[in-house]
A = this chain, B = another copy of it.
Amino acid sequence: MLSNKIRIRVRYGEVDRMGYLHHGNYALYFEEGRTELIRKLGLTYREMEDQGILLPVREFHIHYYKPALYDDEITIRTSLIKYPSVRLEFDYQMLNSQGEVLSEAKTTLVFVDAETRKPMRVPEFFEKLIHPFFTDQA
């Protein structure tokens, strides 16, 4: 398993009339979580995209338990639990500074060729980078 934690402070413009982080903006935070997880592997998502490999989201499922509020400093825990095949599945937990779980989510992404816009298998260089984190499953 591969996982990390990032901290984000909720911005004023990201909050709605209820004073809650707008439910659509969670996607941005989780995206930041998996960007940093990929960076931890020694590559950047930007480079991958510049080399012609896209990673669009195919499925997103989220439970909102408690709201994140403006100016709250929250933690996003991002995990790659399953060894990827065509699909790449990330799990997320959002926690407040007291460690309470505010939200849990899962995204499924696919590797897509930027030219053809068709799904492709996990690139070899990516497999090599994540292999050490899944030794017992490989």
Binding site for B on A (CB under 8 A): 9, 11-20, 22-28, 31-32, 35, 44-46, 49, 54, 56-64, 67, 70-71
Contacts and interface: CB of A to CB of B under 8 A. Distances in A.
B16 A35 contact: no
Most chain-B CB neighbours within 10 Å: which of A16, A28, A49, A64? A16
Given A46-B71, A59-B62, A61-B61, A54 B18 contact: yes
A56 B22 contact: no
A94 to B, nearest CB: 14
A31 B23 CA distance: 10
A59 B49 contact: no
Contact of A56 (B13, B25, B67): B67
